Structure 1
Amino acid sequence: MATYSLTTIWYLDAPIIRVFDTLGEAPRWPDWWPNLIAVEERDVGANDGTGRVYHYTWRSRLGYRLCFDIRVTRVVRPWFIEGVASGDVCGVGRWRFSEQGGVTRVCHEWQVHTTRPWMNRVAPLARPLFVWSHHAVMRDGAQGLARRLGGPGS
């Protein structure tokens, strides 16, 4: 199995609470994240969001799809969200938020391994392409979220 440890940083010209709340509405992500085909809520979890389960269907920049569930395991509003992934990828994802001067910094950490046999077979050669695709999808997300929030972002 191929393991990936990926970090993405976004800077958004919006208050932290607005960014946090918008990212907390995962079923609405396809409205602004072009690579996300669908999000289905499978378990509502607790009032703070822990225990919530979402099923995601993503389209990579290389044309393949990834489907996986995320179970939200920890929420510290408006600073932190953590979830455990299972499906085509398994592992942990974390969103960390901070704000300075009205600009919100979002750090996404993705520590996963792939479970699809074809991905694991080609990973020794295709890893740079998979990493490139991940970062391109994340850039698309930053741009979409910045538009959603009504300001510039990276």
Structure 2
Amino acid sequence: MEAPVARVWEELNRPDDWPAWWRAVKRVEKIAAGGPDGIGAVRRFTWATALPYTITFDMEATRIEPMHILEGRARGELDGIGRWTVTPNGAGTRVRYDWQVELTKLWQRTLAPVLRPAFAWNHNVVMGWGHEGLVQRLRQRP
């Protein structure tokens, strides 16, 4: 990203605003506020995908290292861990997202061996939308 870590962090650390710039994020509902550091906050995310289905899951903030790591535990139609890592990269920022989840919908689990390439493609499209949206957001709100 051609923006400083602080700007990228500001956007990633405000998931309630993600629907404004990430077209796959259809809804974010705060379920629990968590502590003053944000740990324990729970949000329910509803995502539209490039394939004709939506995914809903709750994400609990489990680790926050300001300006570096946001990590959460997903439960619902996906179950596992998601982690944003942001690091300085020259004048910009390197952003990495690690997503280690299992499918919980019966139809997805049943068809996963056959549809794995389609699911991977779908995930990459959704993340690409996030990248495009974040780049645009950073340009609009310096």
* Shorter-chain TM-score above 0.5: yes
Counting only pairs closer than 5 Å after superposition, residues 2-151 of structure 1 correspond to structure 2 as: 12-150=1-139
- How does the TM-score come out when normalised to structure 1? 0.89
1:112-136, Cα deviation, whole Å (9 max, x unpaired): 0000000011111101000100010
Q: Distance in 1 between matches of 2:51 and 2:89?
A: 35
Shift of 1:100: 2.1
- The one of the two structures with greater contact order (alpha-carbon pairs below 8 A, sep at least 6) is 1
Identity %: 39
CA-atom RMSD in angstroms: 0.9
Secondary structure of 2:7 counterpart: helix
Q: Distance in 1 between matches of 2:50 and 2:36?
A: 35
1:67-97, Cα deviation, whole Å (9 max, x unpaired): 0000000100000011000000000001111
Residue ranges of structure 1 left out of the alignment (5+ in a row): 1-11
- Structure 1 runs (4+) greater than 6 angstroms displaced: none
Secondary structure of 2:51 counterpart: coil
Q: Distance in 2 between matches of 1:63 and 1:150?
A: 31
Letter aligned with residue 47 of structure 2: W
- How does the TM-score come out when normalised to structure 2? 0.96
Shift of 1:103: 1.1
Q: Distance in 1 between matches of 2:28 and 2:107?
A: 24
Aligned residues: 140
Q: Distance in 2 between matches of 1:91 and 1:33?
A: 21
Q: Distance in 1 between matches of 2:90 and 2:106?
A: 46
Residue ranges of structure 2 left out of the alignment (5+ in a row): none
Shift of 1:47: 1.8
